[in-house]
Each structure stands twice: as C-alpha cells, then as structure tokens.
Structure 1
Amino acid sequence: MLSVNELALEIFDNLADLAEEFNCAYHELDNGARIVDCGVSVRGGYAAGRAFTEICMGGLGEVNFRNGEIKGIPMPFIDVNTDFPSISCLGAQKAGWTVKVGNYFAMGSGPARALSLKPKHTFEVIEYEDDYDCAVICLESDHLPNAEVMNKIAEECHVDVANVCAVVAPTASMVGSIQVAGRCVETAIYKLNELGFDTRKVIAAMGTAPVPPVRGAKLAMGVTNDATIYHGRISLTMNAPEIKDYLDKIPSNKSKGYGKPFNDIFKEAGYDFYKIDTSLFSPAEVTINELSSGAVYHVGAVNPDVVIKSFGYE
C-alpha cells in the first residue's frame, strides 16, 4: 500500500535542503526533530506554498498556479489534482488533528495523521492507515513547535522523535493562503464523506480556487474559507451511480449561512464555530462524471460578489 509519509518525506527533504531558495528557514532541534518554517518568521512564497500543499496531500496531489480573474480583477489561482482523492484528502490533507501541548496550539494535517489515526473513524471509513518509520506533519500556527511538541507528535505516531518532520505556516501568510485554498478538492471529498458517501469510489479529482490576499490575522480565517466556499470549482470522476442521491447536498449554496463573507457569519455566530451550519464548508461548484452510466452532473455556482467583498478589493 502507498505510504503517504514516505512520499511526503521526499518533498520535505527537498524543501529542507533548499530552504533558502524557498524563502523558508530550516531548524533541527536538539532531539533531532526537523522543522521548516514556511511563514512564521520568513516570507515564503509560491514555491513554498506548492511544497507545503503537496506535503499535506501525502505526495499524492499535484499543485500548479495560474493568473485568473474574478469580475475582471486579475488574481492568482491554485489548481490541484489527485488520482487518489480519498487517501490524499481524507487520509492526509484533512485538518483532523488538534495539536495542543502546554501553551502551544496548532491545527495539524498531513500524512502524520495516517500514523496517529486522528480521527480514527476517518481511517476506518476509508480503510487506510500508513506504516512508516517517519512522520511528516503540517502545522497551521503562528509559532514554531518546540521539542516537547515534537516529542508528543512522535509518541502519537509511534516513531522516534528524530524521525518527525514538520512544515509550519500561519493562516495569515502567503503559504497559509495558498495551502488553505489548496484544500478545495479536499473540501468536496470531506463533504461527501460527511454525507455518508463512500469516497473510495471517487477515482480522480481536480479543483481550483483563488488564492486569497493576506489581510492580517484577524481576517485570515474568513478570506481563506471564502476562496472555496464561494469560488471553489471541483471536477470529480467516480464509479458510483448512487451519487445522484447526494447532488443537492454537495455545494455550499445549500447552507443556511450562505451569502455573506465568512467573517460576517462568524461574527453573527458570536465567534462560536459550533453555531455555524457545517454544510457551509463545501465547494461552490461541482461537476461529476459518473463512469458506469456515463452521466455528467453539475451542481452549485460561484459567487464572485462575495469573493470580491471578502478579499477587500475596492
């Protein structure tokens, strides 16, 4: 079986070896754990954002950039594709691990989750877990982890701490904007999984979303979510005639909170995530080619007005 940690380690090693060329910084702790700072105290960039996103997908996704436009305004877009949607998105990229050690907090994602099995139910559903002696984790945080944090990750992954590797970037950074927009495909696979659909039947996936501008820590969460909620466009190829029963529930415009920038919705919810309709965390538009019947389905639509408002364009 494919090892997402083994594949991601190749990308990590290249990033670590050439950190300066990626506008990143490499650190090795006294316990041997390795860290690449992609945005905490460095500026990062598109190359670092691509590497971070491909590591997060366990080496089973490909990332590219292009210059697109929304309502005539030019802006960068990220394009993501994978031939292993269930493993790369749910088995690696999903932000399913809250890393909290002492005063340190980060959202953990990436292939290390397939060793720690966080959350376990996800891996039971997709029938995948990794078996490798090195753990590669992606941390969304504005602080670098210390030795204690890396030790904890090693324990959870059942590997030696010297074999733990982490890439780190804050949400409010260039790499942060890129890697969250790079979750556009994952958002679609995650939504299908939440609906009870067997995502192992999705055999290929491709998606695109605008890369949000970096607007500061206060707005970062909102603008990065809005990229996919209001302008994520996903194409899925699958062998699953039953998908027709799920179509109306896939796109974000079916959510009760749809129609406003995420930061406005969050504010109205008293900054309480549990008060937000979880169906909002979906792509804007999805096209599906169902191979057994030859059917092609299209649901949802982009909402350029909300994107322009969220991104702060005048």
Structure 2
Amino acid sequence: MTEQIGVSINFTAKPLVESLVRDAALLRLKVERLDNGVTLVDAGIEADGGLEAGRRIAEICMGGMGTVTLAHSALTPGWPLRVHVHATDPVLSCLGSQYAGWSLSHGKGKEAFYALGSGPARSMCVKEALFKELDYKDKADATVLVLEVDKYPPLELLDKIAADCGIQPAGLTVIVTPTSSLAGGLQVVARVLEVAMHKAHELGFPLEHIVDGSGSAPVPPPAPDFITAMGRTNDAILFAGQVHLFVKGEDEAAEKLAHDLPSSTSRDYGKPFAQVFKEYEYDFFKVDPMLFSPASVMVTAIESGRSFRAGRLDEELLARSFGA
C-alpha cells in the first residue's frame, strides 16, 4: 500500500480533535488522560454532550475531509431538524475513515467489551480488506478512534489499538459516543452519505467513478434504551435520508446505481428497524444488508449532465419510529 496518498486524514483530523478537547467544557464533554497515556473523550456516558459535540465528532470521523452542519428543512416538515453532510473525497472520507469497520473485542463473558471503531485510526492499522481496494495507508504520530459504546474501553484494548496503529498510547485519542445520547445519535445519522457509499461498493459500482457527494437526514430524538435508539438512528436514514452523488462513466451505470441504491429496494423495508431487528431475534446477520441505505437518491453523470432519481422520503414511517 502507498502511504499518505495525496492527503493524510490523520493530519487533517488532528486540529479538529485538538479543538474538541480544548472546548470540552463548552461542549459538555468529559476528557481524561488515562494511566497508559491515552486521551479518552466521553460524549454521553458520564458527560451530557450535545448536538454540537456530535456534529464535531462526525467531522472527525470523516477524517477532516467533510463538513457537517445542522439546519431546519422542509424536506421532512414533521421533523425539520436535519444534519447535512458533504465530503470533498467521499470514497476516502466515508469508506477510508468514517465507516465503522474495525472490529474490536476484549475479554469474555459479562466483562467482555465489543465495539466497532471508526475514524482516521482505521487507516493506520489497515486491518480491513477494504483498504487494499482503496490502496491507502496513512502514517502519523497521533490518531483518533470513535467508538459507539455505552461503557469505557479497557486499558489493555487501548494499548493494543495504539500498537496496531504503530504509535505510543499517548498519541491515541478515543472518543466514546453512546447511541442513546444526543451526540451519539447525531454522529450516527451523519453517516447518511457513508451508507450510500458502502452500498454502492456492495453493488459493485466502481469507487473510482464517484467524484463528489452530499447527503442529509433528520436528527432523531434520543431514547433511553439501546435498541430503540439504534433503531431511530437507522430509520432516520432509511426513511428520510437523502443523498446526491456525482459520478463519472456511462449514463446507464449512473441510472442503475440510482435505481438500486434506495433502502426501499430491500426485502426488509417498510417497518421501523427496531421491529425488524426484533423479528430477526436481534441477529444483525439475518437483516438484509441492502436495507442500510438512504431513502432517496439522486445520481448525476457529470460527463453527460444527466441526473437520475429513485426512492422517496416516508414521513409516516419516520413518525412511527420517532414516536412523534
């Protein structure tokens, strides 16, 4: 693999991490330097966190190569607050950084800790086969990893993460964002563009043909239990997420991508995700992987200037999920 192709996502993310830590009190975060030197940022376990914290964390997840904003929109008048995402390089930003693809575990039984890591640190450990396709490996003295968990990771696991990234523990920052928190819910929904990129990859669309992209989705209300909270973050994208991709290549390929991308093409579409998950006895592997995608998609073929649209927003299903 080539190190630091064009840009280092750890370099571009570093000032965002420093700003997050510096503004911890303003953002209602808890920052702690652990015994092994790792910096732990709590955005919703023992700290309150909030929407602005989640917005900044989402930009960190994107490796500093994307913008995340909050605004009210008429797209979903019943739930107008939406998160808007744009990536300057959607392939590297979304798949090379934001995607939660690093599987982590430590211990057994009741004391076991499991998590999926996202953020720039993934590009330094490159444990996922995806990085061979991206032909990308980053190198830096410091990195950051985001974990969507409701308890703190053990020191032994943090030591291993640092070692896998080739840095000292003092160079590692770990941000924890439980799904049930405001910050956690927002940073998950800010993956609306990333899930479109991931599904495009699963559909076999050439990643090198994706030039630019943006997306938006409503910010879900928090929920006290994980299943409801997780269901709402998924439904925000499945029922009301909107993505626009700009691609190279033939019109026919762009049109097919637009047709195949929306969540409504999945056999499991039509019910709140928490209900689907329960019916599958809480087994993610039984859920149709093609479900995880935005509700509405537009794909523009930049060489011909033609655009293709498919899917639609469903406020009724969104309201059922959000309890509105």
CA distance in 2, matches of 1:72, 1:94: 29
- Unmatched 5+ stretches in structure 1: none
* Number of the residue aligned with 1:307: 318
* Number of the residue aligned with 1:49: 54
CA distance in 2, matches of 1:296, 1:220: 35
Note if 1:12 corresponds to 2:14.
Answer: no
Q: Select the residue among 105, 110, 116 that pairs with 1:107.
A: 116
The DSSP-based 3-state class of the residue aligned with 1:246 is: helix
- Compute the displacement of 1:162 (Å): 1.1
The DSSP-based 3-state class of the residue aligned with 1:123 is: helix
TM-score normalised by the chain length of structure 1:
0.96
CA distance in 2, matches of 1:72, 1:49: 23
Letter matched to residue 246 of structure 2: T
Note if 1:284 corresponds to 2:300.
Answer: no
- Unmatched 5+ stretches in structure 2: 1-5
TM-score normalised by the chain length of structure 2:
0.93
Deviation sequence 1:136-162 (CA, Å, 0-9, x none): 100110112232121011122121111
Letter matched to residue 77 of structure 1: R
CA distance in 1, matches of 2:172, 2:62: 17
Q: Select the residue among 226, 234, 248 that pairs with 1:239.
A: 248
* Number of the residue aligned with 1:37: 42
What RMSD in Å do the two structures reach over aligned CA positions? 1.4
The DSSP-based 3-state class of the residue aligned with 1:185 is: helix
Note if 1:164 corresponds to 2:183.
Answer: no
Percent pairwise identity:
38
Q: Select the residue among 308, 314, 319 that pairs with 1:297.
A: 308
CA distance in 2, matches of 1:18, 1:278: 38
* Number of the residue aligned with 1:83: 88
CA distance in 1, matches of 2:190, 2:266: 22
Letter matched to residue 55 of structure 2: R
CA distance in 2, matches of 1:198, 1:72: 35
Does the aligned pair in 2 maintain the 1:4–1:111 contact within 8 Å?
yes
Does the aligned pair in 1 maintain the 2:259–2:309 contact within 8 Å?
no
The DSSP-based 3-state class of the residue aligned with 2:217 is: strand
Deviation sequence 1:239-279 (CA, Å, 0-9, x none): 12233343322111000011100011111111111111110
Q: Select the residue among 7, 15, 24 that pairs with 1:2.
A: 7
- Compute the displacement of 1:178 (Å): 0.2
CA distance in 1, matches of 2:259, 2:290: 12
* Number of the residue aligned with 2:3: none
Structure 1 runs of 4+ aligned residues shifted over 6 Å read: none
* Number of the residue aligned with 1:195: 203
Letter matched to residue 171 of structure 2: N
- Compute the displacement of 1:104 (Å): 2.1
* Number of the residue aligned with 1:28: 33
Letter matched to residue 66 of structure 1: A
Does the aligned pair in 1 maintain the 2:242–2:295 contact within 8 Å?
yes
